[in-house]
Every structure is written in C-alpha cells, then in structure tokens.
Amino acid sequence: MTPPEKLGTKPQKEISGKPDRLFLIAWHSVHNKRMQKIILLLVLLSFSEIVFSERLCVTDDSQSEVCLQEPAKKIITLSPHATELIFYVGAGEQVAGAIDGRNYPGAARNIQSVGDYRSVSVEKIISLKPDLIVSYYTIQF
C-alpha cells in the first residue's frame, strides 16, 4: 500500500486514534462501489495483525481526507446497507450499534439500536464510544 505522503496529497484534517473520537464517512449511492472498497479496506485493516506503522487516510465524498491512526475497533452503522457490507467482509463483531431496519444477516438483529431513519440518538452513539461511524446518504430526486 502506498503511503499517503507518496500519493501527492496531505491530510486536510487529522483525527486522533482516541476511542472517544467519532469518525464519519458518508457517501452517495452513486459512489457505492468506491465506498465498498473503502469500508473493506478499513475493516480488513481492523483485523490485521500488522501493526499500523503509518496512519490510514481515505477521502470521503465531501473531498475531505480523514485519517485513522489505528484500526477501528468499534463501528456504528447508520444504514442497513452499511451494516450488511461490514458483515459481508467479516467484521460484524465490531459493529457496536446500528439504526433500526437491519435484518440481514440474522446476527445484525442483535446489535444495539442507536435509533432509526427519522431519529438517531446521539447520546447512545456517544455512550458506545465508537472509533468509526459509517453513514449511507442517498440523493432524493
């Protein structure tokens, strides 16, 4: 993997790896394949036995670069789609909270609820102390 410094970009904002920090990656449905790759990379690195020698940086859809100092250990998902993708890549055990509506795979039903599409409980999310929050944003036409 090429270090971010060699890609010719410098992080626009750096986020410490403290467990009380929240990371939010939002994407539009038109970038679904791109975000699947980013989520897959983040989750696989979370399972890696390789020690992070350099921070992991990704660019979200707002064109902001977000850097993780260490792998995410607690993940909150704010869409059933994101929950399903995280389970798909084998990181379901790391999902600490999710919004209602998640029913696949079956194990996702046992995840603590942090609200629904209309109302997300910020208090619940903060109490779970996530390392990463994954949101799915769709454009309404």
Residue with more model confidence, 139 or 21: 139
Global model pTM greater than 0.85: no
How confident is the model at residue 23, as a pLDDT? 42
How confident is the model at residue 62, as a pLDDT? 77
- In a domain? residue 90: yes
Residue with more model confidence, 30 or 42: 42
Kindly provide the b/e burial profile for residues 54-88, where b requires at least 16 CB atoms within 10 angstroms of the residue's own CB. ebbbbbbeeeeebbbebbbebbbbbbbbbbbbbbe
Evaluate whether 137 touches 27 at the Cβ level (below 8 Å): yes
- In a domain? residue 95: yes
- In a domain? residue 5: no
> Is the torsion defined by CA of 41, 81, 97, 125 positive or negative?
positive
- In a domain? residue 39: yes
Beta strands in the chain (DSSP E): 13-14, 24-28, 56-59, 65-68, 75-77, 95-98, 112-113, 132-137
Mean of the pLDDT values across residues 71-97? 87
Query: How far is it, in rounded angstroms, from Cα 21 to Cα 30?
Result: 28
**Residue 103 burial (CB < 10 Å; 0-12/13-18/19+)?**
exposed
pLDDT digits (tens, 9 = 90+) for 87-99: 888 888 899 999 8
- In a domain? residue 7: no
The CATH number linked to 72 is 3.40.50.1980
- In a domain? residue 105: yes
Three-class SS of residue 5? Answer: helix
- In a domain? residue 13: no
**What's the domain count of the chain?**
1
Residue with more model confidence, 43 or 109: 109
28: containing domain: 19-46+55-137
Q: What are phi and psi of 18, to 5 degrees?
A: -65, 140
Evaluate whether 84 touches 104 at the Cβ level (below 8 Å): yes
